[in-house]
Amino acid sequence: MQTIRMTNLRVSSGRAAIALALGLALRAGAAQAVIDMGQLGARSGDGSDTSPVVARALEQCKVAGAKKILFPRGVYEFWPDRAAEEYLFASNNDPGLKRIAFPIRDLENIEIDGQGSTFIFHGGISAFVVERSRGVTLKNFSIDWKRPFHNEARILAVTESGIDLEISGQFPYKVQKGLLYFLDENGGSCGKRNRDACPVGDLLEFDSQKRETAYMVRDYYSAPYVPASVIAPGRVRIVQPGLKVTAGNTLVFGMTNRDYPAMTLTDSSSIKVESVTIHHAGGMGILAQRCRDMELDHVKVTPSPGRMISVPADATHFVNCAGRIVMSHCLFENQLDDATNIHGIYAQVTRLLSPAEIEVKLVHPQQRGVGFVAAGDPVEFVHADSLISFAQARAKSVVRVNGEYTRIAMEGPPAQELRPGDAVASTAGYPDVVIRNSTIRNNRARGLLLGSRGKILIEDNTFHTPGAAILMEGDARYWFEQAGVRDLTIRRNSFDNCNYGVWGKAVIEVAAGIEPALRDQSRYNRNIVIEENVFRVFDQTRLVLAYSVDGLIVRNNRIERTSAYPARKEDYPPFDITNSDRVNITGK
């Protein structure tokens, strides 16, 4: 491939100068042209800001047709000061005006290869945003933040006076007027726009030896700033009513917002993330919305050395996607929420404007502004209390009033039983999902939340999660996440002492936000096969809990008893299935 040498190019003269300077080089084969970031001005190891250099490289991809951006292996840093800016709506994260280091928009067949580089981000900046693009490959680099958005402390002692903590230098703080404040990497207070560290959202104890959430612990939700006093340099005493912890463990101070995912993918297709490690972000690791055909190969979400936590939310999350989602040979560990969540969006019907037009609302604040339906889409209507789909229609026109409200005109009137409080969702497409040869462990909460109605295969993975390893859910009254699997196979996985915390009722849980009195009427999840798995369990826990299911086969699984954790008092049946049809459980 051809390398474009750009060292002396003056980009300030605009696109014409870029095109002129690159013209001769690209005529020889623009599709194979490579932008060498070292020659373009990116410097490794000196703390300089690489964001403006990335902006120049992406401009050259648009103007001159270059298809590959190559970083010489090194350590590159990114600051928000001169980064691109855009107001972003990212589902299940917080909307807002964001600075972006890699704004990849309206590009085709572009590859960014870090060749083993480390990308270090500072403060309030999103790493990668991919919009309206096709054929994007991101590979061979790691992502981290110099100053993480959460905070950690080692528990020294637990006394009647409080809890004594040791806080390392990578989590700067101050105690002022009896409160503990965490600071940015320069020792300043948190700012709204350039937020290096957030106010405290919750407190959670991790076992320092096992590097996982402590056995059966739960979140302690706190005021934004915790009462504290200084007991020595680097040591503080906090007072948190009701907080019971163990000396020697790690106390994690969670953040209140999800402002800066590592990767936000929107309205794009044929995306591949390969050999990428995400050590940290200010939100989810990878969030994809309205995308098609994505592959994650050898992607790791894992803490950097000296930290307990990787990302403070889900490792990956997919909303209203289609085509195929393939995750193979991945590692998702120590994040503060699930490994993945794949679902659609329900909007609440608020008004019937005419026989064929309705007003709907995106109720959950982290869904507002996200495009959940388009003109021409088929849609379904469900009752919020039962999740029974009672009518279908086709959207003729969609008018977004604002981030909350949308008007949808349909080609014909929906069913007469439609009422305000019901929910509507697009049924235009669901992704087929394959997750194989991956490890999910040591995080807070659950493993895989599966809500796609396409064909799903979960095989040859290892799970060690404090909650349910695999959860099927969906509801139209709280999270407003459209789900309901239709063809799911779970086979040859190892479930290693899962459900040792408080975030689940079984190792595999098939549930939904259905009123108990209506569960016998609804069949929200369908056609599930659980076979040839190994369940290693430390007490008499449920292996499978399910209700409102049509078609459940459990066969040829193996159960192994362990002593990994203290046995709990409750003894449950291994299979707890209610309000369901066509259930067949055979073998062990």
For range 80-99, the mean pLDDT? 96
Q: What is the pLDDT of residues 270-325, one digit of tens each?
A: 999 999 999 999 999 999 999 999 999 999 999 999 999 999 999 999 999 999 99
| Distance separating alpha carbons of residues 182 and 197, to the nearest angstrom | 7
Q: Do domains 41-146+260-333 and 345-426 have the same CATH topology?
A: no
Grade residue 198 by pLDDT with cuts at 50, 70 and 90: low
Beta-strand pair 212-213/162-166: unpaired
561: β partners: 537
CA separation (Å) from 435 to 185, 329, 457, 506? 37, 9, 6, 20
Beta-strand pair 250-255/200-207: antiparallel
Q: What predicted TM-score, i.e. pTM, was given to this entire model?
A: 0.94
pLDDT at 7: 35
Given a cut of 70, is residue 526 above it in pLDDT? yes
Burial of 232 (0-12, 13-18, 19+ CB in 10 A): exposed
| Distance separating alpha carbons of residues 291 and 339, to the nearest angstrom | 19
Contact (CB, 8 A) for 503 and 372? no
| Distance separating alpha carbons of residues 327 and 433, to the nearest angstrom | 8
Contact (CB, 8 A) for 116 and 74? no
Given a cut of 50, is residue 12 above it in pLDDT? no
Q: From the CB of residue 247, how many other CB atoms can be counted at a distance below 10 Å?
A: 12
For range 185-198, the mean pLDDT? 61
Contact (CB, 8 A) for 288 and 320? no
pLDDT at 188: 76
Grade residue 13 by pLDDT with cuts at 50, 70 and 90: very low
Reading phi first (left if > 0) and then psi (alpha if -120 to 50, else beta), residue 442 is in: left
CA angle 501, 507, 509 (to 5 degrees): 110
Q: What is the pLDDT of residues 405-450, one digit of tens each?
A: 999 999 988 878 999 999 999 999 999 999 999 999 999 999 999 9
Instruction: Find tokens 């990302």 and name the residue.
Output: 311
* 290 alpha carbon, distance to own chain's centre: 15
Q: What is the pLDDT of residues 252-285, one digit of tens each?
A: 999 989 999 999 999 999 999 999 999 999 999 9
Amino acid at 258: R
What CATH homologous superfamily does 345-426 map to? Translation factors (2.40.30.10)
CATH topology of domain 41-146+260-333: Pectate Lyase C-like (2.160.20)
Given a cut of 60, is residue 16 above it in pLDDT? no
Given a cut of 70, is residue 238 above it in pLDDT? yes
388: β partners: none
Q: Cα dihedral angle (283, 284, 286, 290), rounded to 10 degrees?
A: -90
Instruction: Find tokens 């459209």 and name the residue.
Output: 482
Beta-strand pair 286-289/292-297: unpaired
Domain extents in the chain? 41-146+260-333, 151-255, 345-426, 456-586
